Amino acid sequence: MVDGQQRLNTLRDFHNNTFELVAKETVSYMSPNCDDYAGKDFAHLPHVYQQAFMKYNIVIINLRDLKDMRYEVFRRINQGGVPLSGQDIRLAYHGRESPSVFFIRLVGVYDKDREAAGAFLKTARRDFGVEYPWDDEDAYHTWHDMWSGKDIARGQAASEMFLWSLVTAQHDEMDDILNNEDALSKLKIRFNRGIDDVLDIYCAQVQWQDNNNVTAPALMSFEKMRDAYFPHFQAFTYCLWQNGPRLNIQKHRTAATVIGAAYREGISPEKITKKHKWGEVVEFIRHASDLDGFCKKKYHVDWPVSKGRWDGHTGYHVQMDAACRIIKKIVP
């Protein structure tokens, strides 16, 4: 058990009547109902309290074979005091024997000279034969400068940016999976309509593809992700952060949406040859969510302000579709 052992042992011991709750003469309970439980062990609680105790749901995340991540998870929780993010957990959970998920995490490495990064790069090379993908030095230094020293970089935000762009590039394919009960059942994962669920399901799907020799995968294969999509992501990211008004890293999700939308629409960085066009793309990213309706006024396209939901008229699926229409207007 990585975290929570003391809590679970305490619950077990209380259920086994090993100790009593503190008497109200010792502490000041906030609840006026404290007479029902103060100073009592489990056996002497009112029946309704015993039932509530037994029915309480405890969330347990089963992190399977973590390999090299095991020590990082343990260190984060028990030494550094840094809680794991959703991206940390999904990469660890779905990364087992999946070059695609492993590659998503590898893209997120923005400082290849760190000791932990060096160990991870060796694992990528040994287990999957994958080299560090940022092979353009200018693009790598841009990626490094984007994330280095930023609080937002904690919790694998850089790798999440790459994952977000992948989802955008395949948002209709993802929607087909999300609305296919058989597909979700195969992945053994639930979809509760939230964007975090979508990111989880994307990783689960590519992991399943990697391990089942699929001839016609629903999402892009590992080889396509590495050899076709990442070069687009690398070049587009470099151009976005080097042209036009300086982008704030807080806009990384919107930038990822634009990168994925451009790939979907066949718009390569080479097509955006004029600097003023890059400036317009950057301005779109900076102002897409402005409450005064920037996108509606400039491009006659509604930009939904999504609040964590995938579907619905303000969901991220609609937002990603809007990004595709706007990028085509900027670069016809």
- This prediction has a pTM of 0.77
Q: Output the pLDDT for position 253.
A: 95
Query: What pLDDT is attached to residue 225?
Result: 97
pLDDT (tens digit per residue) in 298-313? 999 999 988 889 999 8
DSSP assignments along 249-313, one per residue: GGGHHHHHHHHHHHHHTT--GGG--SHHHHHHHHHHHHHTT-TTTHHHHHHS-------SBSSST
* CA proximity to 225, closest of 139, 166, 158, 156: 166
**Are the beta carbons of 319 and 175 closer than 8 angstroms?**
no
pLDDT of residue 67: 58
> How much is the pLDDT for 90?
87
Residue 95, pLDDT score: 79
What pLDDT, on the 0 to 100 scale, is given for residue 72? 59
In this prediction, the residues of the chain whose per-residue pLDDT falls under 70 are 2, 63-83, 274-276
Helix intervals (H) in the chain: 5-15, 47-55, 69-75, 86-94, 99-107, 115-128, 137-147, 157-169, 171-178, 181-187, 195-211, 222-224, 230-242, 252-264, 275-287, 294-299, 316-330
